[in-house]
Structure 1
Protein backbone atom coordinates (compact mmCIF):
# COMPACT_ATOMS: atom_id res chain seq x y z
CA UNK A 1 0.00 0.00 0.00
CA UNK A 2 1.81 3.15 -1.18
CA UNK A 3 2.34 6.28 0.85
CA UNK A 4 -0.25 8.94 0.11
CA UNK A 5 2.48 11.55 -0.25
CA UNK A 6 3.58 14.79 1.38
CA UNK A 7 0.58 16.78 0.12
CA UNK A 8 -1.93 14.48 1.84
CA UNK A 9 -4.03 15.63 4.77
CA UNK A 10 -2.07 13.24 6.97
CA UNK A 11 1.17 11.81 5.53
CA UNK A 12 2.26 8.39 6.77
CA UNK A 13 5.23 9.50 8.80
CA UNK A 14 5.96 11.29 12.09
CA UNK A 15 5.25 15.01 11.74
CA UNK A 16 6.60 18.22 13.19
CA UNK A 17 4.39 20.44 15.33
CA UNK A 18 3.85 22.81 12.42
CA UNK A 19 2.89 19.96 10.11
CA UNK A 20 0.42 18.67 12.69
CA UNK A 21 -1.28 22.06 12.87
CA UNK A 22 -1.40 22.23 9.07
CA UNK A 23 -2.84 18.71 8.88
CA UNK A 24 -5.57 19.65 11.36
CA UNK A 25 -6.58 22.65 9.24
CA UNK A 26 -6.58 20.55 6.06
CA UNK A 27 -8.75 17.94 7.76
CA UNK A 28 -11.16 20.63 8.91
CA UNK A 29 -11.39 22.04 5.39
CA UNK A 30 -12.18 18.60 4.02
CA UNK A 31 -14.87 17.84 6.61
CA UNK A 32 -16.20 21.36 7.20
CA UNK A 33 -19.64 20.65 5.75
CA UNK A 34 -20.27 18.32 8.70
CA UNK A 35 -18.04 19.61 11.48
CA UNK A 36 -18.91 23.31 11.24
CA UNK A 37 -22.73 22.87 11.37
CA UNK A 38 -22.28 20.50 14.31
CA UNK A 39 -19.97 23.07 15.87
CA UNK A 40 -22.63 25.79 15.49
CA UNK A 41 -25.28 23.68 17.23
CA UNK A 42 -23.00 22.64 20.07
CA UNK A 43 -21.54 26.14 20.55
CA UNK A 44 -25.05 27.62 20.67
CA UNK A 45 -26.11 25.02 23.22
CA UNK A 46 -23.08 25.92 25.30
CA UNK A 47 -24.05 29.60 25.31
CA UNK A 48 -27.57 28.71 26.47
CA UNK A 49 -26.19 26.46 29.22
CA UNK A 50 -23.76 29.09 30.50
CA UNK A 51 -26.24 31.97 30.48
CA UNK A 52 -27.75 31.31 33.96
CA UNK A 53 -24.28 30.96 35.46
CA UNK A 54 -23.22 34.24 33.85
CA UNK A 55 -26.21 35.96 35.42
CA UNK A 56 -25.30 34.43 38.78
CA UNK A 57 -21.73 35.70 38.44
CA UNK A 58 -22.81 39.12 37.22
CA UNK A 59 -20.76 38.61 34.04
CA UNK A 60 -21.62 41.01 31.23
CA UNK A 61 -21.07 40.64 27.48
CA UNK A 62 -18.93 40.60 25.51
CA UNK A 63 -15.95 39.97 27.83
CA UNK A 64 -18.04 38.11 30.44
CA UNK A 65 -15.97 39.50 33.32
CA UNK A 66 -17.40 38.99 36.83
CA UNK A 67 -18.86 41.43 39.32
CA UNK A 68 -16.40 42.33 42.06
CA UNK A 69 -18.27 40.47 44.82
CA UNK A 70 -19.11 37.26 42.93
CA UNK A 71 -15.77 35.58 42.41
CA UNK A 72 -17.01 32.21 43.70
CA UNK A 73 -19.83 32.11 41.17
CA UNK A 74 -17.42 33.20 38.44
CA UNK A 75 -15.00 30.41 39.36
CA UNK A 76 -17.86 27.94 38.97
CA UNK A 77 -18.69 29.50 35.60
CA UNK A 78 -15.11 29.04 34.41
CA UNK A 79 -15.06 25.40 35.52
CA UNK A 80 -18.37 24.63 33.82
CA UNK A 81 -17.19 26.40 30.68
CA UNK A 82 -14.01 24.34 30.64
CA UNK A 83 -16.04 21.16 31.02
CA UNK A 84 -18.48 22.02 28.25
CA UNK A 85 -15.64 22.92 25.90
CA UNK A 86 -13.94 19.59 26.56
CA UNK A 87 -17.18 17.68 25.99
CA UNK A 88 -17.92 19.50 22.73
CA UNK A 89 -14.43 18.90 21.38
CA UNK A 90 -14.72 15.23 22.34
CA UNK A 91 -18.07 14.86 20.55
CA UNK A 92 -16.71 16.51 17.42
CA UNK A 93 -13.71 14.22 17.74
CA UNK A 94 -15.85 11.28 16.60
CA UNK A 95 -16.33 12.38 12.96
CA UNK A 96 -12.97 14.17 12.98
CA UNK A 97 -11.12 10.99 13.98
CA UNK A 98 -12.99 8.89 11.44
CA UNK A 99 -12.18 11.45 8.76
CA UNK A 100 -8.53 11.47 9.79
CA UNK A 101 -8.40 7.67 9.61
CA UNK A 102 -9.76 7.74 6.06
CA UNK A 103 -7.30 10.50 5.13
CA UNK A 104 -4.40 8.42 6.44
CA UNK A 105 -5.50 5.68 4.05
CA UNK A 106 -5.52 8.11 1.14
CA UNK A 107 -9.19 8.92 0.70
CA UNK A 108 -11.87 11.33 1.86
CA UNK A 109 -14.71 10.03 4.00
CA UNK A 110 -18.26 10.96 3.04
CA UNK A 111 -20.97 12.30 5.32
CA UNK A 112 -22.81 9.00 5.64
CA UNK A 113 -19.63 7.17 6.54
CA UNK A 114 -18.82 9.68 9.27
CA UNK A 115 -22.28 9.47 10.82
CA UNK A 116 -23.12 5.77 10.53
CA UNK A 117 -21.67 3.01 12.67
CA UNK A 118 -19.61 5.50 14.67
CA UNK A 119 -20.23 4.21 18.23
CA UNK A 120 -22.18 7.35 19.09
CA UNK A 121 -23.60 5.92 22.31
CA UNK A 122 -20.16 5.17 23.68
CA UNK A 123 -18.93 8.51 22.38
CA UNK A 124 -21.58 10.36 24.38
CA UNK A 125 -20.53 8.52 27.53
CA UNK A 126 -16.83 9.21 26.94
CA UNK A 127 -17.48 12.87 26.11
CA UNK A 128 -19.54 13.26 29.30
CA UNK A 129 -16.76 11.64 31.34
CA UNK A 130 -14.15 13.90 29.73
CA UNK A 131 -16.26 16.99 30.42
CA UNK A 132 -16.88 15.98 34.03
CA UNK A 133 -13.18 15.32 34.59
CA UNK A 134 -12.16 18.69 33.15
CA UNK A 135 -14.91 20.43 35.15
CA UNK A 136 -13.70 18.91 38.42
CA UNK A 137 -10.11 19.74 37.52
CA UNK A 138 -11.23 23.29 36.68
CA UNK A 139 -12.54 23.69 40.22
CA UNK A 140 -8.94 23.11 41.33
CA UNK A 141 -7.60 25.83 39.05
CA UNK A 142 -4.32 24.90 37.33
CA UNK A 143 -5.27 21.20 37.33
CA UNK A 144 -7.47 22.05 34.33
CA UNK A 145 -4.38 22.18 32.13
CA UNK A 146 -3.34 18.70 33.17
CA UNK A 147 -6.77 17.17 32.60
CA UNK A 148 -7.29 18.82 29.22
CA UNK A 149 -3.85 17.92 27.95
CA UNK A 150 -4.13 14.25 28.91
CA UNK A 151 -7.56 13.43 27.48
CA UNK A 152 -7.24 14.34 23.80
CA UNK A 153 -6.99 10.75 22.60
CA UNK A 154 -10.10 9.51 24.38
CA UNK A 155 -12.60 9.58 21.50
CA UNK A 156 -10.05 8.76 18.74
CA UNK A 157 -9.06 5.69 20.78
CA UNK A 158 -12.71 4.69 20.91
CA UNK A 159 -13.66 5.14 17.25
CA UNK A 160 -10.36 4.56 15.42
CA UNK A 161 -8.44 2.19 17.68
CA UNK A 162 -11.72 0.37 18.42
CA UNK A 163 -10.81 -0.27 22.04
CA UNK A 164 -13.62 -1.07 24.50
CA UNK A 165 -15.00 1.95 26.33
CA UNK A 166 -13.62 0.82 29.68
CA UNK A 167 -10.08 0.83 28.23
CA UNK A 168 -10.35 4.31 26.72
CA UNK A 169 -9.05 6.30 29.74
CA UNK A 170 -5.93 4.18 30.13
CA UNK A 171 -5.25 4.21 26.39
CA UNK A 172 -5.66 8.00 26.19
CA UNK A 173 -3.36 8.61 29.14
CA UNK A 174 -0.64 6.31 27.81
CA UNK A 175 -0.61 8.04 24.43
CA UNK A 176 -0.59 11.50 26.02
CA UNK A 177 2.48 10.87 28.19
CA UNK A 178 4.66 9.14 25.61
CA UNK A 179 7.71 11.00 24.41
CA UNK A 180 7.88 13.23 27.45
CA UNK A 181 4.23 14.34 27.35
CA UNK A 182 4.61 15.41 23.72
CA UNK A 183 0.97 14.86 22.71
CA UNK A 184 -0.35 16.57 25.83
CA UNK A 185 1.90 19.59 25.27
CA UNK A 186 0.89 19.92 21.61
CA UNK A 187 -2.78 19.70 22.55
CA UNK A 188 -2.34 22.53 25.05
CA UNK A 189 -0.40 24.55 22.49
CA UNK A 190 -3.22 24.15 20.00
CA UNK A 191 -5.78 25.20 22.59
CA UNK A 192 -3.77 28.29 23.51
CA UNK A 193 -3.41 29.30 19.86
CA UNK A 194 -7.13 28.95 19.19
CA UNK A 195 -7.97 30.69 22.47
CA UNK A 196 -6.08 33.75 21.28
CA UNK A 197 -7.82 33.59 17.89
CA UNK A 198 -11.21 33.24 19.56
CA UNK A 199 -10.51 36.13 21.86
CA UNK A 200 -9.38 38.40 19.04
CA UNK A 201 -12.22 37.58 16.65
CA UNK A 202 -14.96 37.39 19.28
CA UNK A 203 -14.17 40.72 20.92
CA UNK A 204 -13.04 42.29 17.66
CA UNK A 205 -16.29 41.38 15.92
CA UNK A 206 -18.40 42.81 18.75
CA UNK A 207 -16.53 46.10 19.07
CA UNK A 208 -16.10 46.36 15.30
CA UNK A 209 -19.88 46.38 14.88
CA UNK A 210 -20.04 49.15 17.45
CA UNK A 211 -17.52 51.24 15.52
CA UNK A 212 -19.57 50.91 12.34
CA UNK A 213 -22.42 52.77 14.02
CA UNK A 214 -25.14 50.81 12.24
CA UNK A 215 -27.08 50.34 15.46
CA UNK A 216 -26.65 50.67 19.21
CA UNK A 217 -24.62 47.59 20.03
CA UNK A 218 -24.92 48.13 23.78
CA UNK A 219 -28.70 47.78 23.54
CA UNK A 220 -28.25 44.41 21.86
CA UNK A 221 -25.18 43.32 23.79
CA UNK A 222 -26.34 39.80 24.68
CA UNK A 223 -27.53 38.63 21.22
CA UNK A 224 -24.62 40.30 19.42
CA UNK A 225 -22.05 38.82 21.79
CA UNK A 226 -23.73 35.42 21.54
CA UNK A 227 -23.56 35.48 17.75
CA UNK A 228 -19.90 36.53 17.83
CA UNK A 229 -18.86 33.81 20.28
CA UNK A 230 -20.94 31.10 18.62
CA UNK A 231 -19.44 32.02 15.26
CA UNK A 232 -15.83 31.83 16.39
CA UNK A 233 -16.35 28.72 18.53
CA UNK A 234 -18.09 26.95 15.65
CA UNK A 235 -14.75 27.03 13.85
CA UNK A 236 -12.43 26.67 16.85
CA UNK A 237 -14.03 23.59 18.38
CA UNK A 238 -13.95 21.53 15.15
CA UNK A 239 -10.37 22.69 14.55
CA UNK A 240 -9.32 21.46 17.99
CA UNK A 241 -11.14 18.16 17.40
CA UNK A 242 -9.25 17.78 14.12
CA UNK A 243 -5.98 18.47 15.93
CA UNK A 244 -6.81 15.71 18.41
CA UNK A 245 -7.53 13.33 15.53
CA UNK A 246 -4.33 13.91 13.57
CA UNK A 247 -2.25 14.08 16.75
CA UNK A 248 -3.62 10.72 17.83
CA UNK A 249 -2.72 8.99 14.58
CA UNK A 250 0.65 10.72 14.40
CA UNK A 251 1.46 9.59 17.94
CA UNK A 252 0.63 6.04 16.93
CA UNK A 253 2.94 6.32 13.91
CA UNK A 254 5.68 7.81 16.05
CA UNK A 255 5.45 5.36 18.95
CA UNK A 256 3.69 2.25 17.66
CA UNK A 257 4.85 2.04 14.05
CA UNK A 258 1.38 2.46 12.57
CA UNK A 259 2.87 3.76 9.31
CA UNK A 260 5.02 0.63 8.99
CA UNK A 261 2.06 -1.58 9.73
CA UNK A 262 0.02 0.09 7.00
CA UNK A 263 2.82 -0.23 4.45
CA UNK A 264 3.14 -3.97 5.11
CA UNK A 265 -0.57 -4.82 5.31
CA UNK A 266 -2.09 -6.96 2.53
CA UNK A 267 -4.11 -4.99 0.00
CA UNK A 268 -7.39 -6.69 0.91
CA UNK A 269 -7.20 -5.91 4.65
CA UNK A 270 -10.35 -4.08 5.83
CA UNK A 271 -9.73 -0.47 6.83
CA UNK A 272 -11.18 -0.95 10.31
CA UNK A 273 -8.72 -3.75 10.92
CA UNK A 274 -5.82 -1.69 9.58
CA UNK A 275 -6.38 1.12 12.07
CA UNK A 276 -7.60 -0.86 15.07
CA UNK A 277 -5.22 -1.63 17.91
CA UNK A 278 -4.27 -5.34 17.92
CA UNK A 279 -5.66 -7.13 20.97
Structure 2
Protein backbone atom coordinates (compact mmCIF):
# COMPACT_ATOMS: atom_id res chain seq x y z
CA UNK A 1 0.00 0.00 0.00
CA UNK A 2 1.23 3.52 -0.72
CA UNK A 3 2.40 5.18 2.46
CA UNK A 4 2.55 8.88 1.62
CA UNK A 5 -0.30 11.33 1.64
CA UNK A 6 -4.00 10.92 2.23
CA UNK A 7 -4.62 10.48 -1.50
CA UNK A 8 -1.47 8.42 -2.25
CA UNK A 9 -0.17 11.06 -4.63
CA UNK A 10 3.41 9.90 -4.32
CA UNK A 11 4.33 6.67 -2.48
CA UNK A 12 7.71 6.56 -0.76
CA UNK A 13 9.23 3.93 -3.02
CA UNK A 14 10.48 3.58 -6.60
CA UNK A 15 7.56 3.51 -9.01
CA UNK A 16 6.77 1.90 -12.34
CA UNK A 17 6.18 4.09 -15.38
CA UNK A 18 2.43 3.65 -15.09
CA UNK A 19 2.49 4.60 -11.42
CA UNK A 20 4.49 7.72 -12.22
CA UNK A 21 1.93 8.83 -14.79
CA UNK A 22 -0.87 8.13 -12.32
CA UNK A 23 0.92 10.09 -9.59
CA UNK A 24 1.29 13.08 -11.90
CA UNK A 25 -2.45 13.07 -12.62
CA UNK A 26 -3.26 12.72 -8.90
CA UNK A 27 -0.99 15.65 -8.10
CA UNK A 28 -2.67 17.74 -10.78
CA UNK A 29 -6.09 16.81 -9.39
CA UNK A 30 -5.05 17.88 -5.91
CA UNK A 31 -3.63 21.20 -7.09
CA UNK A 32 -6.02 21.93 -9.98
CA UNK A 33 -7.40 25.05 -8.25
CA UNK A 34 -4.01 26.69 -8.67
CA UNK A 35 -2.29 24.98 -11.59
CA UNK A 36 -5.15 25.00 -14.10
CA UNK A 37 -5.87 28.77 -13.82
CA UNK A 38 -2.15 29.43 -14.16
CA UNK A 39 -2.16 27.11 -17.15
CA UNK A 40 -5.01 29.07 -18.73
CA UNK A 41 -3.13 32.37 -18.42
CA UNK A 42 0.12 30.95 -19.77
CA UNK A 43 -1.56 29.00 -22.59
CA UNK A 44 -3.48 32.10 -23.67
CA UNK A 45 -0.26 34.12 -23.66
CA UNK A 46 1.35 31.45 -25.81
CA UNK A 47 -1.47 31.63 -28.38
CA UNK A 48 -1.12 35.40 -28.59
CA UNK A 49 2.65 35.14 -28.98
CA UNK A 50 2.43 32.55 -31.76
CA UNK A 51 -0.29 34.34 -33.73
CA UNK A 52 2.02 36.66 -35.74
CA UNK A 53 4.19 33.70 -36.78
CA UNK A 54 1.09 31.75 -37.78
CA UNK A 55 0.02 34.66 -39.98
CA UNK A 56 3.49 34.80 -41.59
CA UNK A 57 3.41 31.05 -42.20
CA UNK A 58 -0.12 31.31 -43.64
CA UNK A 59 -1.39 28.58 -41.34
CA UNK A 60 -5.07 27.79 -40.98
CA UNK A 61 -6.95 26.95 -37.79
CA UNK A 62 -7.52 24.60 -36.12
CA UNK A 63 -4.67 22.40 -37.39
CA UNK A 64 -2.40 25.38 -38.14
CA UNK A 65 -0.98 23.69 -41.23
CA UNK A 66 0.96 25.94 -43.66
CA UNK A 67 0.93 26.68 -47.35
CA UNK A 68 3.62 24.76 -49.23
CA UNK A 69 5.66 27.89 -50.01
CA UNK A 70 5.96 28.93 -46.34
CA UNK A 71 7.72 25.87 -44.97
CA UNK A 72 10.72 27.84 -43.69
CA UNK A 73 8.54 30.15 -41.63
CA UNK A 74 6.48 27.18 -40.49
CA UNK A 75 9.62 25.44 -39.24
CA UNK A 76 10.44 28.55 -37.23
CA UNK A 77 6.89 28.54 -35.86
CA UNK A 78 7.30 24.93 -34.71
CA UNK A 79 10.59 25.73 -32.99
CA UNK A 80 9.17 28.78 -31.22
CA UNK A 81 6.14 26.75 -30.18
CA UNK A 82 8.37 24.04 -28.76
CA UNK A 83 10.30 26.68 -26.83
CA UNK A 84 7.20 28.31 -25.37
CA UNK A 85 5.87 24.92 -24.28
CA UNK A 86 9.13 24.11 -22.50
CA UNK A 87 9.19 27.51 -20.79
CA UNK A 88 5.58 27.22 -19.59
CA UNK A 89 6.08 23.69 -18.25
CA UNK A 90 9.23 24.80 -16.43
CA UNK A 91 7.50 27.82 -14.93
CA UNK A 92 4.59 25.69 -13.69
CA UNK A 93 7.20 23.35 -12.28
CA UNK A 94 7.87 25.70 -9.37
CA UNK A 95 4.50 25.22 -7.61
CA UNK A 96 4.17 21.66 -8.92
CA UNK A 97 7.51 20.60 -7.45
CA UNK A 98 6.73 22.12 -4.06
CA UNK A 99 3.31 20.43 -4.07
CA UNK A 100 4.95 17.09 -4.89
CA UNK A 101 7.43 17.54 -2.06
CA UNK A 102 4.61 18.18 0.39
CA UNK A 103 2.70 15.14 -0.91
CA UNK A 104 5.76 12.95 -0.42
CA UNK A 105 5.84 14.06 3.22
CA UNK A 106 2.18 13.18 3.68
CA UNK A 107 0.29 16.44 3.34
CA UNK A 108 -1.49 18.53 0.74
CA UNK A 109 -0.01 21.96 0.13
CA UNK A 110 -2.47 24.85 -0.01
CA UNK A 111 -2.53 27.14 -3.07
CA UNK A 112 -1.53 30.16 -0.96
CA UNK A 113 1.54 28.26 0.20
CA UNK A 114 2.59 27.43 -3.36
CA UNK A 115 2.29 31.06 -4.43
CA UNK A 116 4.67 32.31 -1.75
CA UNK A 117 8.08 33.48 -2.98
CA UNK A 118 10.34 30.46 -3.43
CA UNK A 119 13.20 31.17 -5.82
CA UNK A 120 10.74 32.61 -8.32
CA UNK A 121 13.30 34.93 -9.93
CA UNK A 122 15.67 32.04 -10.59
CA UNK A 123 12.72 29.95 -11.78
CA UNK A 124 11.75 32.64 -14.30
CA UNK A 125 15.31 32.83 -15.59
CA UNK A 126 15.63 29.05 -15.84
CA UNK A 127 12.23 28.77 -17.54
CA UNK A 128 13.34 31.31 -20.14
CA UNK A 129 16.64 29.48 -20.59
CA UNK A 130 14.86 26.14 -20.98
CA UNK A 131 12.53 27.66 -23.56
CA UNK A 132 15.44 29.10 -25.54
CA UNK A 133 17.37 25.83 -25.39
CA UNK A 134 14.44 23.73 -26.56
CA UNK A 135 13.48 26.30 -29.21
CA UNK A 136 17.00 26.39 -30.64
CA UNK A 137 17.17 22.60 -30.56
CA UNK A 138 13.83 22.53 -32.37
CA UNK A 139 15.43 24.34 -35.29
CA UNK A 140 17.69 21.31 -35.65
CA UNK A 141 14.78 18.89 -35.73
CA UNK A 142 15.60 15.68 -33.79
CA UNK A 143 17.77 17.61 -31.33
CA UNK A 144 14.50 18.73 -29.74
CA UNK A 145 14.04 15.29 -28.24
CA UNK A 146 17.41 15.46 -26.48
CA UNK A 147 16.92 19.01 -25.17
CA UNK A 148 13.44 18.34 -23.86
CA UNK A 149 14.43 15.06 -22.22
CA UNK A 150 17.36 16.58 -20.34
CA UNK A 151 15.67 19.58 -18.73
CA UNK A 152 12.85 18.07 -16.68
CA UNK A 153 14.63 18.28 -13.32
CA UNK A 154 15.81 21.87 -13.73
CA UNK A 155 13.14 23.59 -11.63
CA UNK A 156 12.64 20.74 -9.10
CA UNK A 157 16.39 20.72 -8.44
CA UNK A 158 16.17 24.43 -7.76
CA UNK A 159 13.11 24.58 -5.49
CA UNK A 160 13.02 21.12 -3.85
CA UNK A 161 16.67 20.08 -3.72
CA UNK A 162 17.58 23.69 -2.94
CA UNK A 163 20.96 23.44 -4.63
CA UNK A 164 22.77 26.70 -5.43
CA UNK A 165 21.48 28.32 -8.60
CA UNK A 166 24.68 27.65 -10.54
CA UNK A 167 24.51 23.93 -9.71
CA UNK A 168 20.90 23.32 -10.73
CA UNK A 169 21.51 22.80 -14.50
CA UNK A 170 24.28 20.28 -13.90
CA UNK A 171 22.22 18.36 -11.39
CA UNK A 172 19.23 18.30 -13.75
CA UNK A 173 21.37 16.85 -16.52
CA UNK A 174 22.85 14.17 -14.25
CA UNK A 175 19.44 13.08 -13.00
CA UNK A 176 18.06 12.90 -16.54
CA UNK A 177 20.72 10.45 -17.73
CA UNK A 178 20.90 8.22 -14.65
CA UNK A 179 19.87 4.62 -15.13
CA UNK A 180 20.37 4.74 -18.87
CA UNK A 181 18.39 7.95 -19.31
CA UNK A 182 15.28 6.57 -17.62
CA UNK A 183 13.99 9.92 -16.37
CA UNK A 184 14.57 11.61 -19.73
CA UNK A 185 12.82 8.80 -21.57
CA UNK A 186 9.79 8.91 -19.26
CA UNK A 187 9.59 12.67 -19.72
CA UNK A 188 9.44 12.20 -23.49
CA UNK A 189 6.85 9.44 -23.10
CA UNK A 190 4.67 11.71 -21.00
CA UNK A 191 4.96 14.51 -23.53
CA UNK A 192 4.00 12.18 -26.39
CA UNK A 193 0.98 10.88 -24.52
CA UNK A 194 -0.30 14.37 -23.72
CA UNK A 195 0.48 15.56 -27.27
CA UNK A 196 -1.75 12.86 -28.71
CA UNK A 197 -4.47 13.66 -26.18
CA UNK A 198 -4.23 17.38 -26.96
CA UNK A 199 -4.63 16.69 -30.67
CA UNK A 200 -7.60 14.41 -30.12
CA UNK A 201 -9.44 16.77 -27.78
CA UNK A 202 -8.50 20.06 -29.44
CA UNK A 203 -9.33 19.01 -32.98
CA UNK A 204 -12.25 16.89 -31.85
CA UNK A 205 -13.90 19.81 -30.06
CA UNK A 206 -13.51 22.10 -33.05
CA UNK A 207 -14.79 19.66 -35.66
CA UNK A 208 -17.51 18.50 -33.29
CA UNK A 209 -18.89 22.05 -33.31
CA UNK A 210 -18.79 21.96 -37.11
CA UNK A 211 -20.83 18.77 -37.18
CA UNK A 212 -23.45 20.21 -34.84
CA UNK A 213 -24.12 22.98 -37.36
CA UNK A 214 -25.39 25.41 -34.74
CA UNK A 215 -23.55 28.34 -36.35
CA UNK A 216 -20.93 29.07 -39.00
CA UNK A 217 -17.80 27.71 -37.35
CA UNK A 218 -15.59 28.74 -40.27
CA UNK A 219 -16.50 32.38 -39.76
CA UNK A 220 -15.28 32.12 -36.16
CA UNK A 221 -12.43 29.72 -36.82
CA UNK A 222 -9.66 31.72 -35.13
CA UNK A 223 -11.35 32.45 -31.77
CA UNK A 224 -12.88 28.97 -31.56
CA UNK A 225 -9.57 27.27 -32.32
CA UNK A 226 -7.82 29.52 -29.81
CA UNK A 227 -10.31 28.60 -27.09
CA UNK A 228 -9.97 24.89 -27.90
CA UNK A 229 -6.17 24.92 -27.75
CA UNK A 230 -6.05 27.09 -24.64
CA UNK A 231 -8.45 24.71 -22.91
CA UNK A 232 -6.47 21.55 -23.66
CA UNK A 233 -3.08 23.14 -23.00
CA UNK A 234 -4.30 24.59 -19.70
CA UNK A 235 -4.58 21.00 -18.47
CA UNK A 236 -1.71 19.42 -20.41
CA UNK A 237 0.99 21.88 -19.36
CA UNK A 238 0.31 21.57 -15.60
CA UNK A 239 0.07 17.79 -16.01
CA UNK A 240 3.53 17.71 -17.61
CA UNK A 241 4.89 19.96 -14.86
CA UNK A 242 3.45 17.55 -12.29
CA UNK A 243 5.10 14.66 -14.12
CA UNK A 244 8.45 16.45 -13.91
CA UNK A 245 7.91 16.96 -10.18
CA UNK A 246 7.00 13.38 -9.27
CA UNK A 247 9.60 11.97 -11.67
CA UNK A 248 12.29 14.05 -10.01
CA UNK A 249 11.45 12.83 -6.52
CA UNK A 250 11.07 9.24 -7.72
CA UNK A 251 14.47 9.41 -9.40
CA UNK A 252 15.97 10.59 -6.11
CA UNK A 253 14.31 7.69 -4.29
CA UNK A 254 15.52 5.24 -6.89
CA UNK A 255 19.10 6.49 -7.18
CA UNK A 256 19.82 8.42 -3.97
CA UNK A 257 17.75 6.61 -1.34
CA UNK A 258 15.53 9.58 -0.55
CA UNK A 259 12.80 7.27 0.71
CA UNK A 260 15.21 5.62 3.18
CA UNK A 261 16.46 8.99 4.33
CA UNK A 262 12.91 10.18 5.03
CA UNK A 263 12.02 7.01 6.92
CA UNK A 264 15.04 7.48 9.21
CA UNK A 265 14.69 11.22 9.73
CA UNK A 266 14.01 12.28 13.33
CA UNK A 267 10.76 14.02 14.15
CA UNK A 268 10.66 17.78 13.96
CA UNK A 269 13.04 18.25 11.04
CA UNK A 270 11.72 21.07 8.78
CA UNK A 271 10.39 19.99 5.39
CA UNK A 272 12.90 21.98 3.33
CA UNK A 273 15.74 20.34 5.23
CA UNK A 274 14.27 16.87 4.73
CA UNK A 275 14.07 17.26 0.96
CA UNK A 276 17.18 19.35 0.34
CA UNK A 277 20.24 17.68 -1.11
CA UNK A 278 22.97 17.28 1.46
CA UNK A 279 26.07 19.24 0.56
Relative to the length of structure 2, the TM-score reads 0.98
User: Is 1:55–2:55 an aligned residue pair?
Assistant: yes
C-alpha displacement of 1:118: 1.5
Tell me the residue number matched to 1:34.
34
C-alpha displacement of 1:165: 1.5
* Aligned mates of 2:62, 2:113 — CA distance in 1: 38
> Cα–Cα, structure 1 residues 182 and 111, in superposed 2: closer, same or farther, change >3 Å?
same
Relative to the length of structure 1, the TM-score reads 0.98
Contact 1:36/1:235 (<8 A) preserved: yes
User: Is 1:181–2:181 an aligned residue pair?
Assistant: yes
4+ residue runs over 6 A deviation: none
* Aligned mates of 1:230, 1:5 — CA distance in 2: 31
Contact 1:126/1:165 (<8 A) preserved: no
User: Is 1:168–2:168 an aligned residue pair?
Assistant: yes
Tell me the residue number matched to 2:8.
8
C-alpha displacement of 1:6: 9.6
Stretch deviating more after TM superposition (111-120 or 87-96): 111-120
* SS of structure 1 residue aligned to 2:106: coil
* SS of structure 2 residue aligned to 1:69: helix
* 1:195-210 to 2 correspondences below 5 Å: 195-210=195-210
* Aligned mates of 2:173, 2:120 — CA distance in 1: 21
Tell me the residue number matched to 1:113.
113
* Aligned mates of 2:32, 2:204 — CA distance in 1: 24
Contact 2:89/2:241 (<8 A) preserved: yes
Stretch deviating more after TM superposition (41-50 or 115-124): 115-124
* 1:68-83 to 2 correspondences below 5 Å: 68-83=68-83
Unpaired runs of 5+ residues, structure 2, are none
User: Is 1:44–2:48 an aligned residue pair?
Assistant: no
* Aligned mates of 1:49, 1:261 — CA distance in 2: 45
Contact 2:5/2:104 (<8 A) preserved: no
Tell me the residue number matched to 1:233.
233
C-alpha displacement of 1:75: 0.4
Per-residue CA deviation, residues 201-249 of structure 1 (Å, 9 max, x unaligned), is: 0000000001111110000000000000000000000000000000000
C-alpha displacement of 1:3: 3.9
* Aligned mates of 2:82, 2:261 — CA distance in 1: 37
Tell me the residue number matched to 1:211.
211
C-alpha displacement of 1:166: 1.1
* Aligned mates of 1:214, 1:19 — CA distance in 2: 42
* Aligned mates of 2:6, 2:108 — CA distance in 1: 16
Unpaired runs of 5+ residues, structure 1, are none
* Aligned mates of 1:3, 1:62 — CA distance in 2: 44
Per-residue CA deviation, residues 101-130 of structure 1 (Å, 9 max, x unaligned), is: 000000000112101132111100000010
C-alpha displacement of 1:258: 0.2
Tell me the residue number matched to 1:192.
192
* Aligned mates of 1:238, 1:171 — CA distance in 2: 23
User: Is 1:223–2:223 an aligned residue pair?
Assistant: yes
Tell me the residue number matched to 1:249.
249
Contact 1:3/1:263 (<8 A) preserved: no
Tell me the residue number matched to 1:151.
151
Per-residue CA deviation, residues 178-206 of structure 1 (Å, 9 max, x unaligned), is: 00000000000000000000000000000
* Aligned mates of 2:212, 2:275 — CA distance in 1: 52
Aligned residues: 278
* Aligned mates of 1:259, 1:223 — CA distance in 2: 48
* Aligned mates of 2:4, 2:47 — CA distance in 1: 40
Tell me the residue number matched to 1:124.
124
